[in-house]
């Protein structure tokens, strides 16, 4: 065997090995039973891993964004044959194709529906409640996650709606989806956003807003922050919940059994005396106090923290009426 012949054999063996490795590598890359695509078309490159001009050959339309579909292997083989591509499915009968997407936040959908319902109802504040609890909207990965209410039918008597949604809102690869649901009237009320302890004073910084279904809201809840600012909780109030007016009170300036300064009013003069409060009281409340020196029980009006004004004429008249 000559040296030249040996070199040729070695060269041929190397070519065959390289071809085998390339074929084996291509087969490994192609055997995927699940393929994820971004575009509106599924290409031969997506399904087989082939490169070059054949990679862009369109085999089928892709599913809608966020959905999946199935392509029979026979369709892939036919497309490969038309492009002189050798592809071994290795026993697969079909390939699942998933279209990647961007999910539109449900808050975006709710906002669009609420605006449309408000216009259709003449300005009512309505919260849409979609019948399908698993409802989601997807757009292509290169589209903005927006939605527009293209059409809306609102039945005020039944409190229901039917809407046609367009995604994305700015056009492009648009898709229209029908959605049905209930339109619930809601009321916005002030709520605590910070915990406020019993007896502490509620400030404007402690308050925010939240919406509640009108048919589930008590009639005595606060609807204006002015009804709560400067007041104190009578009992623990949870953040984010509507606040009944019976759950708040004016801040207690004189606690029960607290020592107080009594400003005793006698016609023509005022005296001060030490006393003790028998009841708790807020500004302007009438409470009972006991004079620490005479031990007499008198009525007084809370004027400031620890200060009670005691009009003696009024006490005398009250005592006379008792007699």
pLDDT of 243 above 50: yes
CA dist., res. 118 & res. 226, Å (int): 27
The domain defined by 22-100 folds into eubacterium ventriosum atcc fold (2.60.480)
pLDDT of 25 above 60: no
> How confident is the model at residue 318, as a pLDDT?
64
Q: What is the pLDDT of residues 133-145, one digit of tens each?
A: 899 999 999 999 9
Cβ 161 vs Cβ 124: under 8 Å: no
Residue 319: pLDDT band (50, 70, 90) is low
| Residues ≥6 apart with Cβ < 8 Å to 288 | 277, 278, 279, 297, 298, 299, 300
Torsion of CA 147, 140, 96, 84, to 10 degrees: 150
> How confident is the model at residue 178, as a pLDDT?
96
Domain 253-322, second-level architecture: Roll (2.30)
Residue 20: pLDDT band (50, 70, 90) is very low
Residue 250: CB atoms within 10 A of its CB come to: 15
> How confident is the model at residue 18, as a pLDDT?
45
Q: Give me the residue spans of the domains in the chain.
A: 22-100, 108-187, 194-250, 253-322
Cβ 140 vs Cβ 226: under 8 Å: no
Q: Give the 3-state secondary structure of residue 196.
A: coil
Fold agreement (22-100, 253-322): no
Cβ 234 vs Cβ 246: under 8 Å: yes
Residue 21: pLDDT band (50, 70, 90) is very low
Cα Rg, the chain, nearest whole Å: 40
DSSP code for 221? B
The length of the chain is 323
> Average pLDDT of 114-132?
96
Q: What is the pTM of this model?
A: 0.65
């Amino acid at each position: 065997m000559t040296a030249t012949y040996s070199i040729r054999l070695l060269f041929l063996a190397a070519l065959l090995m390289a071809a085998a490795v390339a074929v084996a590598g291509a087969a490994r890359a192609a055997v995927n039973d699940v393929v994820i695509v971004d575009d509106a078309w599924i290409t031969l490159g997506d399904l087989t891993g082939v490169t070059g001009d054949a990679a862009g050959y369109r085999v089928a339309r892709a599913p809608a964004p966020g959905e999946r579909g199935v392509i029979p292997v026979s369709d892939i083989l036919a497309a490969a044959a038309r492009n002189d591509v050798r592809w071994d499915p290795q026993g697969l009968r079909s390939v699942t194709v998933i279209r990647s997407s961007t999910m539109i936040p449900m808050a975006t959908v709710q906002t669009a529906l609420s605006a449309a319902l408000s216009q259709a109802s003449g300005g009512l504040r309505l919260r849409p409640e979609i019948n399908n609890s698993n409802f989601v909207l997807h757009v292509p990965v290169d589209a903005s996650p927006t939605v527009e209410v293209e059409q809306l039918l609102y039945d005020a008597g039944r409190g229901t709606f039917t809407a046609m949604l367009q995604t994305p809102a700015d056009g492009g690869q648009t898709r229209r989806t029908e959605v049905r649901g209930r339109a619930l009237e809601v009321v916005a009320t002030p709520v605590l956003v910070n915990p406020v302890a019993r007896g502490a004073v509620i400030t404007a910084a402690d308050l925010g807003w939240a919406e509640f279904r009108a048919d589930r809201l008590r009639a005595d809840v606060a609807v204006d922050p002015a009804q709560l600012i400067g007041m104190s909780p009578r009992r623990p109030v949870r953040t984010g919940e509507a606040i009944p007016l019976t759950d708040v009170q004016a801040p207690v300036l004189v606690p029960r059994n607290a020592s107080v300064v009594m400003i005793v009013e006698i016609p023509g003069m005022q005296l001060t005396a030490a006393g003790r409060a028998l009841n708790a009281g807020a500004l302007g409340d009438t409470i009972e106090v006991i004079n620490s020196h005479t031990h007499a029980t008198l009525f007084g009006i809370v004027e400031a923290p620890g200060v009670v004004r005691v009009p003696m004429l009024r006490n005398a008249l009250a005592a006379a009426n008792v007699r």
